[in-house]
Amino acid sequence: MTTRLACHVGIGPTVDGVALVADDNFSARYDLDRVNGVFSRPQHRLYGQSYRDVILVLNTAKGGVATAWMLHEMVSRDMAPKALLLNAANTILAQGAALANMAMCDRFTDGDVTGLIRTGDRLVVDPAAGLVTIAERAAA
């Protein structure tokens, strides 16, 4: 059974992929080893995990402005997530998604997106429609 989650209209193309979820925040500079494609900040809940080609589901942004360039750089090396879903994006994440042509959505109608989606769920993200579909649930 599919579940449809409404959100604010976002940025970027429609994509599908597997979710990687954490109740934590995000900065490409603060949290990532972008050479090796893993979370490198020891305090991050996704520490050590690969972010490449997954749909990251997190709470909000943290820190600085570098992410706006970094998403573009990560995409250029095929070392990027497919999409970012957040409870509340900040301006930097939106600007970076726009340059990188990366799918991004936030402000979900049904509440905390890090609770609505589980790691391993297969998702379809449609930013133009403001819609995320859980096509297949991961085992609980």
Partner 1 sequence: MKLDDQEQAMLAGEHGSACQWAIQHQLQVGRMFDAADMVSVSQAHMMADPESLGDAGVAFVEGLAADGAHVAIPMITDPRGVDLSYYLPLGQTEEMADLERRFVAACRAMGIMMTDTCINYQTIMPPLYGDHVAYGDTGVVIYSNSVCGARSNFEGGPSALAAGLTGRTPRYGLHLDENRRATQRFVVDDRPRDLMEWGILGATIGRMAGSYWEVPVIEGIDGAPTSDEIKHFGAAMASWGSTPLFHIVGVTPECRDLGDVEGAGLDARRVAAADLNDLGAPFGAAGEAVDVVVFAAPQLSLVEIAQLARLCEGRRRASSTDMIVCTPVQVYGDAKQLGYIDSIEGFGGTVLTGTCFYQQYAREIAEANGWTRLLSNSVKIVNILGGYGYRPVLASMEDCVASAEAGTVIDRRSA
Query: b/e string for 120-138 if b means 16 or more Cβ within 10 A?
Result: ebbbbbbbeebbbbbeeee
Asked if 129 is part of the footprint of partner 1 (rule: CB under 8 A), the reply reads no
Out of 16, 49, 53, 88, name the contact with partner 1 by CB under 8 A. 88
CA distance 103 to 83: 5
Report, in Å, the least distance between residue 2 CB and partner 1: 25
* Shortest Cβ 67–partner 1 spacing (Å): 7
Residues 24-83, interacting with partner 1 (CB under 8 A): 25, 29-33, 35, 40-44, 60-70, 72-73, 75-77
The closest of 81, 84, 68 to 25, measured between CA atoms, is: 84
Query: Is residue 134 within a helix (H) or strand (E), and if so which, with residue range?
Result: strand 131-136
14 within 8 A of 124, measured Cβ to Cβ: yes
Q: Which is nearer to partner 1, 11 or 116 (CB)?
A: 11
**Chain residues that interact with partner 1, rule: CB under 8 A:** 8-11, 25, 29-33, 35, 40-44, 60-70, 72-73, 75-77, 88-92, 94-96, 98-99, 104
